[in-house]
Amino acid sequence: MTKINYNRIKAALAEKGITNKELADALKIAPETVSSWCTNTAQPSIKRLFDVATFLDVEAGELLVSWRKR
């Protein structure tokens, strides 16, 4: 079964030089939660997605994988 990536939070964190723990601390959540988002085993709620985007200073849409054909 192929795993589908819905978000690119892991890539955005790497681009910004921010660790999972730093994001978890900023959002006051468990680091395991951020890890599950980064591995696409779970997805953040819409509110949390906007919280992540605000912390990373990016648009929320930039955290989602594009489904458009290129």
Residue 68's pLDDT is 60
Structural domains of the chain in order of their starting residue, each with its CATH number? 9-63 (1.10.260.40)
With a CB cutoff of 8 Å and minimum separation 6, the contacts of 49 are 7, 60, 63, 64
With a CB cutoff of 8 Å and minimum separation 6, the contacts of 40 are 3, 4, 5, 6, 7
Residue 70's pLDDT is 45
Task: Provide the whole-model pTM.
Answer: 0.89
Residue 57's pLDDT is 97
For each of the chain's 70 residues, which pLDDT tens digit applies?
677 889 999 999 999 999 999 999 999 999 999 999 999 999 999 999 999 999 999 999 999 987 665 4
